[in-house]
A and B are shown apart, each in its own frame.
Chain A
Amino acid sequence: MSESVITLRGVRADLGSRPVLRGIDLTVHRGEVVALLGANGSGKSTAIRTIIGQVPVSAGQIELFGTPRGRFRDWARVGYVPQRTTAAGGVPATVTEIVSSGRLSRARFGMLRKADHEAVRRALELVGMADRAKDSVNALSGGQHQRVLIARALAAEPELLIMDEPMAGVDLASQEVLARTLKDQVAQGTTVLLVLHELGPLEPLIDRAVVLRDGCVQHDGPPPRAVGQHALPGHDHVHPHSPDHEPMRTGLLS
């Protein structure tokens, strides 16, 4: 197998006194597209946030490009798309200003040169938002906002993309743009780890699915095919997730 880009070994993490990850093993190889699936509260977002260092781990090891995460400094190789809710400031900002932040990992002392501004413009073109470059992000729809956040991650021209629910609350037109953008990135050899609630329009891109349940890996292998009604195009997947119910019913494991 080729070089591993992300490695998690026996990773445990707690939020308060509650264990959220209870010994996760996960490897993502170069060029792979891996989907992290699971019900709400299964720990998939927490797993991603331990990889980027936002949530501390209580046990286990994490490696990025073969380097222990604590000593990893080459952040320009990583593009991150957080859940959309985290990126709202109290001051207006234009699309270009937001996307330029993504280029800081390649800029020295925060100085953006001509090549950096060009990279920002290219990233905006990739997601079809170049014509909105000077607009305030507050004027955008949810799907357009998500495209801006993906452009921000792409501005650094990363080798690895980590995305947390990139399709959540995104209109159909934006979903298509995002799927196409992601397909182009994958074709260029970008490695992708993404949290998804369901495979949806990204299904053909996904090489492997890792399903979490209660902070443990329950399935690691080819993406389970949707069956029956779940496989119909445009099937809208809405169902409640309460701890008392069957925790997973995404049609992925049946």
Chain B
Amino acid sequence: MDFLDYAFMQRALLAAVLVGITAPAVGIYLVQRRQALMGDGIGHVALTGVGLGFLLSWSPVWMATLVSVLGAVLMELIRWYGKTRGDIALAMLFYGGMAGGVLLINLAPGGSNANLTSYLFGSLSTVSQSDVTAICVLAAFVVLVTLGLRRQLFAVSQDEEFARVTGLPVRALNLLTAVTAAVTVTVAMRVVGLLLVSALMVVPVAAAQQLTRSFAATFAIAVAIGVTVTTGGTVTSYYQDVPPGATIVLLTIGAFIVLTGLATPLARRRARAAAAAQPAPDPAECAIPASRQADGPVGV
């Protein structure tokens, strides 16, 4: 445990734990509303914020937060109003955001694409004290929203039409989900990088689903997987000198594969238990009436 003696490792582990909690906590609502790739889109848009931060010599983390929140709100607006060509508009937003980031960073004095690499793929060992402060504040916001409003967000993500009739402010909650997802992207940016953020939002949820029947359990297990892989990936990268972002994402996918392997016999046992609980189980196959059987193939 000698890595805990280094200040940079302490900061890196704190950031990793916070990302392990927040990314699946938001991701579960995105998966529930079948917008699993929204995090990826926001990640692209956030790059413009990073470029802008370099150009204006402001904190790239806060600029990325600002720009990705604006991008997420814009995506939500496109979802409401642009029914016909919404996908095209989103594609333009994504790739415009990425191109904007590359252009802006090259305009910045002394800036080049090399500066972008640490944001695209994460750079955990260079997380500074001010980065940690920003990550803590943003993560607190994400946890507050995803846990505090879990019943409302669950209802809206499950069935928007029904949620409207319970009097929930559906549009405000949709916007809040988008903003929270954008904030999470910038929290995770320094740890796994903008291009890999979405994996940490979606894959732990998908892995947890292999074992669970309830939303609450899926939430808890997804966060547990998230924290395990982010800390595991960070420690691995300390000893093996491999990039932490990529290690974390590959560990997450490994967790998915292992849990899927474990889940298959579990599902079979549950199906057997359910069948035993039923008083009169339906026969697995249709019985063919004897008279018809005797007639041979039935002509129509």
- Residues on A lying within 8 angstroms of B by beta carbon are 49, 52-54, 73-76, 78-80, 82, 86-87, 89-94, 97-98, 100-102, 104-105, 107, 110, 112, 134-136, 139, 152, 156, 162
Contacts and interface: CB of A to CB of B under 8 A. Distances in A.
Interface residues of B, number: 32
Contacts of A92: 209, 212-215, 218
A97 B218 CA distance: 12
Given A80-B161, A92-B209, A104-B166, 7 more contacts: A87-B162, A89-B32, A90-B31, A93-B158, A94-B214, A97-B154, A110-B151
Interface in B171-227: 205, 209, 212-216, 218
Which of B33, B157, B161 has its CB near the most chain A CB atoms (within 10 A)? Answer: B161
A97 B216 contact: yes
28 contacts: A49-B161, A52-B165, A73-B167, A74-B167, A75-B165, A76-B167, A78-B165, A79-B165, A80-B165, A87-B159, A89-B158, A89-B159, A91-B31, A91-B218, A92-B212, A92-B214, A93-B215, A94-B214, A97-B214, A98-B158, A101-B151, A101-B166, A102-B162, A104-B168, A105-B165, A107-B151, A110-B151, A152-B162
Contacts of B212: 92
Interface of B: 28, 31-34, 36, 149-152, 154-155, 157-159, 161-168, 205, 209, 212-216, 218, 274
A92 B163 CA distance: 18
A90 B33 CA distance: 6
Contacts of B167: 73-76, 104-105
B158 A101 contact: yes
A53 B164 contact: yes
A80 B150 CA distance: 21
B28 to A, nearest CB: 6
Contacts of A76: 166-167
A3 B161 CA distance: 27
Contacts of B216: 97
Contacts of A136: 213-214
Nearest to B150: A110
Contact of B155 (A101, A135, A156): A101
B162 A80 contact: yes
A82 B33 contact: no
B215 A94 contact: yes
A73 B164 CA distance: 11
A227 B205 CA distance: 54
A159 to B, nearest CB: 13
A21 B213 CA distance: 41
Sort A-B residue pairs by CB-CB distance and give the 5 closest, nearest first: A75-B167, A80-B165, A136-B213, A101-B155, A105-B166
